[in-house]
């Protein structure tokens, strides 16, 4: 599956606008550089999985809304996991990312 970064950027921008947020506000909430979100939304920069997760948390959605165009706003399990991720530092997020990558490859 090839990711369409132009479409991902549009989905992020659409969600940000739905919430009535400015780019600067989202950058602060997601702890990313001032101009980085603009580059992501215009598909001139490719976000890492960690940045996609941070943006999903900041924009109160799930990463799949950005990556595939689907969302789970009312999923309580997702919300509890998102809250755990929100409080993690960079090392913890990196470890969570590694675990999620490994887990997604498992046939359970």
pLDDT tens across 24-70, in order?
999 999 999 989 999 999 999 999 989 999 999 999 888 888 888 77
The model scores a pTM over 0.75: no
Distances in whole angstroms, Cα of residue 15 to Cα of each of 69, 90, 91, 95, 98: 11, 24, 27, 27, 26
What residues have CB less than 8 Å from 85, skipping those under 6 apart? 53, 57, 93, 96
Cβ atoms of 47 and 54 closer than 8 Å: no
Domain ranges for the chain, please list them: 5-104
Close Cβ partners of 19 (under 8 Å, ≥ 6 residues apart)? 59, 60
What is the assigned CATH class of domain 5-104?
mainly alpha
Closest-CA residue to 23 (of 59, 60, 53, 48): 59
Q: Tell me, what's the pLDDT at 20?
A: 96
């Amino acid at each position: 599956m090839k990711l369409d970064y132009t479409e991902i950027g549009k989905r992020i921008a659409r969600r940000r606008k739905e919430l009535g947020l400015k780019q600067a506000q989202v950058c602060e909430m997601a702890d990313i550089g001032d101009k980085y979100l603009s580059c992501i939304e215009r598909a001139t920069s490719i976000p890492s999985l960690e940045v996609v997760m941070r943006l999903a948390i900041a924009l109160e959605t799930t990463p799949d809304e950005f990556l595939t165009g689907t969302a789970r706003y009312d999923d309580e399990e997702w919300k509890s996991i998102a809250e755990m991720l929100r409080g993690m530092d960079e090392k913890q997020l990196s470890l969570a990312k590694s675990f999620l990558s490994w887990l997604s490859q498992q046939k359970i």
